[in-house]
Amino acid sequence: MIVTSIVNQAEALRELRDELAALAELPGAASSIVQHPDWLLFELDSRTGAAMPHIVVARDGEGRMVGYAPFLAIQHQVRIAFGDHHVPVYRGRTLRMLGAGVVVSPDARVAVEQAIVAAIGRDRKVRVIRIQETELPNTLADALSASGKGFTVVASNLLDQVNWTIQPQASPAAYLAAMDSKKRNDLTRRLRNVYKKLGEQARLRIFDTPESIDQYGRLMNQVYARSWHADAVAIDWEQPERRALFTRLAAKGQLVGHLLMLGERPIAYVHGYRLGGRYVLDDTGYDEEFSSLGIGSSLVFQAIQDLIERHPGEVIDFGYGDNQYKRVLANRQTPCGSLYAVRGMRESASFQLIKPLRWLYRGLRRMRQKSAGKQLRAS
């Protein structure tokens, strides 16, 4: 028998931290570091009241925690980017899932997931659930749709997406040997040329210990400010809550930062997290002054070899997106997307707008591609 309960206070979440962490750190239990309780607490502390925890906890007949679904209850506005415009779809209370599904040991996933879905179905206040950037099919979304509790699953990405990974490798040599020789030689040559052009002051630094986090945050703020990312998303890498989170994660070997240094100056970075046999590349960027050298993709290639060398047998997850380095370095791709599970008359009516937007956007895109093809042939 599986019994469920809801944790919706930060203090109660802190009290359960060790139990939750023990589950999240099991191989294959969590989808990424964002499902770890330390990350949940960081989200709450840094948002200062803008979100509340909503953790559906499952226990067996003896009271042992066997799984949990980590959500944040937020006021959320759904707007779909359509060209230069954002089409409003919905505004209201939403459960934002952290990660892709239930945190549970793989051998117990089906039973625990069903119990948690039943608990969500009984809570009539839950009308909109957001699951971002998940591999498809998503078993939690499918279970909600099939639960008979009125949920409909809606894909919010206008185009199909792909998630890119490197499947477990025994060593960097084994990873390289499996590549096409032209690709392998090209990657190796590009990395060698980057260091040759930068000169003797160029070196790789790795930050993965609690003692290194203060310096890491300071250097990341320097290089991040000179990257295009700073204009898109403002991040303070020395924010006290972030620094505390990184220190805790580094103490458990769950954070790895790779920085390409030119003397004392950071000029490129690869930032990621390890959990349960999976490394997730969270962000990569570089100083725009050095963009012509290709330092960003070369550092990713070097960082991957370092990760495989030190942590053989782990999945390396690049996430979704169409970046060229992902296509070149990954050896597996799976469909992915962002989903909403919706019920209720008003909510369902609002989200029905997305389907015709997807149809129209794809049709316009096909027309543009067809027109571009004709112009190319004519020239």
The per-residue pLDDT for range 62-100, each reduced to its tens digit, is 999 999 999 999 999 999 888 788 899 999 999 999 999
The CA distance from 268 to 286, in Å, is 4
pLDDT digits (tens, 9 = 90+) for 39-68: 999 999 887 778 999 999 999 999 999 999
CA 182 to chain centre: 31
Q: Give mean pLDDT, residues 329-351.
A: 96
Model confidence pLDDT, tens digit, residues 210-255: 999 999 999 999 999 999 988 888 999 999 999 999 999 999 999 9
Which one, of 309, 263, 260, lies nearest residue 284 by Cα? 260
Measured between alpha carbons, how far is residue 351 from residues 49, 128, 288, 301, 357 in Å? 27, 10, 39, 40, 11
Q: So where are the chain's domains?
A: 3-161+335-367, 169-313
pLDDT digits (tens, 9 = 90+) for 126-136: 999 999 999 99
Residue 271 host element (H or E): strand 265-275
Region 258-287: mean pLDDT is: 97
Alpha carbons 249 and 220: distance in angstroms, whole number: 17
How is residue 273 written in tokens? 């997290």
Q: What is the pLDDT of residues 286-321, one digit of tens each?
A: 999 999 999 999 999 999 999 999 999 999 999 998
Give the long-range contacts of residues 110-114, CB within 8 A, separation 24 or more.
111/2, 112/2, 112/58, 112/66, 112/67, 113/67, 113/139, 113/140, 113/143, 114/143
Burial of 313 (0-12, 13-18, 19+ CB in 10 A): exposed
pLDDT at 217: 98
How far are the Cα atoms of 162, 188, 194, 257, 317 from residue 282, in angstroms, in the given order? 16, 23, 23, 10, 9
CA dihedral 211→311→33→334, nearest 10 degrees, is: 150
Q: What is the pLDDT of residue 379?
A: 64
Round to whole Å and give the CA distance between 267 and 291: 10
Per-position b or e across 109-142, b if 16+ CB within 10 A of its CB:
beebbbbbbbbbbeeeebbbbbbbbbbbebbbbb
Say which amino acid occupies 190: R
Pick the CATH number of 169-313 from 3.40.630.30, 3.40.190.10, 1.10.645.10, 3.40.570.10: 3.40.630.30
CATH superfamily of 3-161+335-367: Gcn5-related N-acetyltransferase (GNAT) (3.40.630.30)
Average pLDDT over residues 153-175: 95
Residues 149-161, mean pLDDT to the nearest whole number: 94
Are 68 and 58 in contact, with CB atoms under 8 Å apart? yes
Helix, strand or coil for residue 109? helix
Report the pLDDT value the prediction gives residue 321, as an integer from 0 to 100: 86
Domains 3-161+335-367 and 169-313 share a fold: yes
Phi, psi of 117 (to 5 degrees): -60, -40
Q: What does the mean pLDDT of the chain come to?
A: 94
Q: What pLDDT, on the 0 to 100 scale, is given for residue 376?
A: 65
Q: How large a percentage of the chain has pLDDT more than 70?
A: 98
Structure confidence at residue 346 (pLDDT): 94
Q: Is the pLDDT of residue 183 over 80?
A: yes
